[in-house]
Chains A and B, each alone.
Chain A
Amino acid sequence: MRAAVIQFPGSNCDRDMAVAIRQIMGAETSLVWHREISLPDNLDLIAIPGGFSYGDYLRSGAMAARSPVMQAVVAAAHRGVPVLGVCNGFQILTEAGLLPGALMRNSGIRFVCRTVRLTVENSQSIFTSQYDSGESIAIPVAHHDGNYFADAETLDRIEGEGRIAFRYAEPVNGSSRDIAGILNDSGNVLGMMPHPERMIEDVHGGSDGRRLFEGLIRQIA
């Protein structure tokens, strides 16, 4: 099994993500710098980690989405390679057009950094197969721009197609319909603001994030 974690200037969850993928999935994981124009061959997973790529200049994720490696990521996503974007990774995936909508400033203006309750909405995806639908899990968030926005028609569509993977079960950032994570139309791209890679063993305060990676092993193998 092979995975790549993309690194941008300002990424800061890249190593945590690589540790989670290596330890839980046992995947050979490369860190790929944003200036690369190609990705390693035969990838089973691409992860876009959290952080503050390019200092959040212009808009969170805007510069990273136009960096050279993202063309290869977009092409791989269109071929069906699973792509996981967490936090800044979610912002980058919306800016790159792989996911609909946009992540705006939190409605309370403040940076929110705490563990929150999520409800698993879709347990049929390759990322969520090890959770139960409707299950409540605890995963940390750490973001300033996590307020998911899309027009009503788009929201109705993604909701109707079962593409909301996770919802916040408590007020966090003002997201439309409490959206914490969404899937693309073919189900191989997941963007989520909460950090599953920060909740993978008891010393982290819980391990609810672990099953996301465990589920991927089953789906990919």
Chain B
Amino acid sequence: MKTRVFVTLKNGVLDPQGKAIHHAIESLGFSGVHDVRAGRLIEIEHEPGLSTSDLETMCSKLLANMVIENFEIEQAA
């Protein structure tokens, strides 16, 4: 079984990497992009019995830094 964890910066936390990516997109000639924020996708292969609360604990204890980041858990097919 596979779960995807999306780690994103909290609102209000500046994202210099996203800003640099935004500049790079513009320098490729694309217009109309207002903002870019970069995050991280982590794919976890696991036993079907692994509980959501265990996954959440993994996220809050390690995969995301709750001072600056949020996480979302998505069960993949």
Binding site for B on A (CB under 8 A): 58-59, 62, 66, 94-95, 100-102, 104-109, 147, 149-151, 174
A108 surroundings in chain B (CB, below 8 A): 16
Contacts of A102 in B (CB 8 A): 65, 67-68
Known: A109-B16, A174-B14. A62 touches B67 (CB 8 A): no
Number of interface residues of B (CB under 8 A): 11
Per DSSP, chain A at the interface is loop
Contact A149 B16 (CB under 8 A): no
At the interface, yes or no: B13 with Cβ under 8 Å from chain A? Answer: yes
Q: Specify the main secondary structure of chain B where it touches its partner.
A: helix
Name the distance in Å between B10's Cβ and chain A's nearest Cβ.
Answer: 9
Q: Given A102-B65, A150-B67, do A109 and B17 touch, yes or no (CB 8 Å)?
A: yes
Please measure, in the bound complex, the distance between the C-alpha atom of A59 and the C-alpha atom of B63, giving whole angstroms: 9
Chain A residues near B16: list those with CB within 8 A.
Answer: 104-109, 147, 174
Q: How far is the CB of A59 from chain B (nearest CB, A)?
A: 6
List, in ascending order, chain B residues with CB within 8 A of A62's CB.
62, 65
B20 within 8 A of A: yes
| A101-B67 in contact (CB<8A) | yes
| Beta-carbon contact of A149 and B67 below 8 Å | yes
Q: Shortest distance in angstroms between B41's beta carbon and chain A's nearest beta carbon? A: 13
CA–CA, A147 and B14, complex, Å: 10
Contact with A along B10-23 (1 / 0, CB 8 A): 00011011001000
The one of B17, B20, B65 that contacts A95, using a Cβ cutoff of 8 Å: B65
Q: Select which of B13, B14, B61, B65 is within 8 A of A59 by beta carbon.
A: B65
